[in-house]
Amino acid sequence: MNKNESKYYNTALLMDEALIQLLEKKEFEYISIKEICEKAGVNRSTFYLHYDNTDDLLKETVETINKRFFEGFEKERIPKADVKSADKNNLFLITPVYLKPYLVFIRDNKKLYKLIHSKPDLFQSEKAFNIMYTELFQPILDKFEVKKENQPYVFEYYSKGLIAMIMKWVDLDFEKPIDELIDIITDTFSVYKKNEKPISNK
């Protein structure tokens, strides 16, 4: 990354952070470009150099968040090449190591997280989950000998279940501590460890 690219990236990051901070105080629909620029310490011309409107900024902010989240997956998951030789007892679809930072972010950015899931088309949630499926779930489902044609259904069941559990947590205003929620989630997903095969292959 050269100096100009670095400056461009840093400016965009300032606006990402400004939007996140403003979302803690008001609804997205009422946040103006002027407020974003003032919070980020940039002028309007700089904003329009990066984005056409606030929806563009919001989309990029979520993409940045997704990138951080999947970088966490990448660090902690077993590489595809090692899954086949791995002990099944060491394979988990969801682990506390990368789940906890994600939940902390959700707790600290409640309004942004609700926006992500209220506008799935804008944020390309399907693309994010396809990455999760290909990079994380599919190799493990292969290890458990789940038929290829069954795997999308298994993934849909578990991913939607995970989202629903987290959204319930948000709706209840984070009633349960994060560690307790993680226990609930990992206990739910532990069916893979207990039964070795999550669904019948018949």
Q: Residues 96, 43: one domain?
A: no
Task: Provide the pLDDT for residue 6.
Answer: 57
Judge whether 172 lies within some domain. Answer: yes
Q: Which two tokens stand for residue 201?
A: 């292959």
Is 60 found in the same domain as 39? Answer: no
Main-chain dihedrals φ then ψ at residue 174, nearest 5 degrees: 60, 40
Judgement on whether residues 9 and 62 belong to the same structural domain of the protein? no
Asked if 46 and 59 sit in the same domain, the reply is no
Q: How far apart are CA 14 and CA 6, in angstroms?
A: 12
The pLDDT profile of the chain, 202 residues, written as one tens digit per residue, is: 333 455 677 898 899 889 988 887 888 889 999 999 999 999 999 999 999 999 999 888 877 766 766 665 556 555 554 556 666 665 566 667 667 877 887 887 777 777 776 766 655 656 666 766 776 678 878 877 889 999 888 888 888 888 888 888 988 888 999 999 999 988 887 654 444 444 444 4
CATH of the domain at 39: 1.10.10
Domain that holds residue 125: 54-195
* 191 within some domain: yes
- 89 C-beta neighbours (distance < 10 Å), count: 9
Which residue has tokens 């086949």?
Answer: 84
Q: Of 107, 90, 76, nearest to 181 (Cα)?
A: 107
Q: Are residues 89 and 113 in the same domain?
A: yes
Q: State the pTM of this model.
A: 0.61
- Note whether 161 and 172 are same-domain residues: yes
CA-closest candidate to residue 64, choices 146, 9, 104: 9
Please return the burial class of 172, using the count of CB atoms within 10 Å of its CB with bins 0-12, 13-18 and 19+: exposed
**How far apart (Å, rounded) are the C-alpha atoms in residues 105 and 117?**
15
Asked if residue 200 belongs to a domain, the reply is: no
Residue at a domain's end among 29, 51, 73: 51
Would you state the pLDDT for residue 105?
74
Please list, residue by residue across 64-87, b when 16 or more beta carbons sit within 10 angstroms of its beta carbon and e when fewer do. Answer: ebbeebbebbeeebbeeeebeeee
The answer on 22 and 66 residing in a single domain is no
The answer on 80 and 10 residing in a single domain is no
Residue labelled with tokens 């999308």: 152
> In terms of Cα–Cα distance, which of 72, 162, 163, 149 is closest to 116?
163
User: Do 121 and 91 share a structural domain?
Assistant: yes
201 is a domain residue = no
79 and 109 part of one domain: yes
Answer yes or no: do 60 and 33 share one domain.
Answer: no
